[in-house]
Amino acid sequence: MTTLVAVAMTLASAPVDASSSFRPFWQPLPVWNYWYLLLVPLCLGVSIVYKSIKCHRMRQVPKEAAVIFGMILAGMTFAAVVLLVLVRVMEKAR
Amino acid sequence: MPPPPLVALVGWLVPGAGYVMIGQRARGAVVGITILLIFVAGLLIGGVRVIDSSYIESVQQRQEREHTEADAQRDARRMNRAYVPPNPIARTLQKPWFIGQALAGPVAIAANVVATRWGGENGAPFSHARVYEIGVLYTAVAGMLNLMAIIDSAYRASNEGDR
């Protein structure tokens, strides 16, 4: 929940080009510098649908979806950190 | 229990409706609403033009394609070879993301029609870079999730609502 609030606040504070008013669905969302945060709601949606299909009873879905959502986020963060370290090491080696 | 092919068809027409047909309303509502929210979020993030197929074209796209085909015909005639029109499968695979997007149901086809008609001959403008990619990703993932839901609801229909 805290993550979602953080994402919403970041998106709300994203810079908007004042010269042209944003037209939803016509123009892309002006979040050029925060695109990676858009993966978070997608992961949440995937977790909910996946667990709704997988779970025997719908009562289990919120807890199971929250667990898998956390696991996906943790996995993606871990992969990002590993790749960042790898890039830094390769930059130093050159 | 309705026949599985009918459940699959209804599940494609309206995401989650396959589950409703077999009596699992809560599952159908959660799956359907979430898939549609992901799809609409994709359109909002990248603009409606993230839905782009080889078969639903704006006037400008059709003119460009006809021009390219006319060039290919002229070249074939000059080299005394038979002109082979583009293979439908190859043409579909030119824009493979639409296969995933179309699995979200007629809403994807409707969005593509709107994208090509909205705003005149060129249709709605294309977005670029990461925002476009994320928009395409959202809409295609929504379609792939709906495919999972279609298969599962049809399987449950064949097993009296159980897995």
Residue B128 pLDDT > 50: yes
Question: The whole model's pTM is what?
Answer: 0.84
Cβ neighbors of A5 (< 8 A, separation 6 or more) are: none
Q: What residues of chain B lie within 8 A of the CB of A24, using their CB?
A: 44
Q: For the CA atoms of chain B, what is the radius of gyration?
A: 19
Cα A91 versus chain centre, distance: 27
Domain boundaries, chain A: 2-93
Alpha-carbon distances of B32 from A5, B103, B142, rounded to whole Å: 24, 13, 10
Q: What phi, psi does A75 have (nearest 5°)?
A: -65, -45
Dist. CA B152–CA B15, nearest whole Å: 12
How do residues A43-86 score in pLDDT, each as one tens digit? 999 999 999 999 999 999 999 999 999 999 999 999 999 999 99
The pLDDT, as a whole number, for residue B24 is 94
Contact B42, B115 (CB under 8 A): no
Domain boundaries, chain B: 4-158
Candidates B124, B134, B137; nearest CB to A26: B124
Looking at CA atoms only, how far is residue B143 from chain A in angstroms? 11
Whole-complex ipTM = 0.85
Is A61 an interface residue toward B (CB < 8 Å)? yes
Which structure tokens are listed for B14? Answer: 């309206």
Q: CA angle, B122 as apex, B117 and B127 as ends, to 5°? A: 95
Residue A18: which pLDDT band, with cuts at 50, 70 and 90?
very low
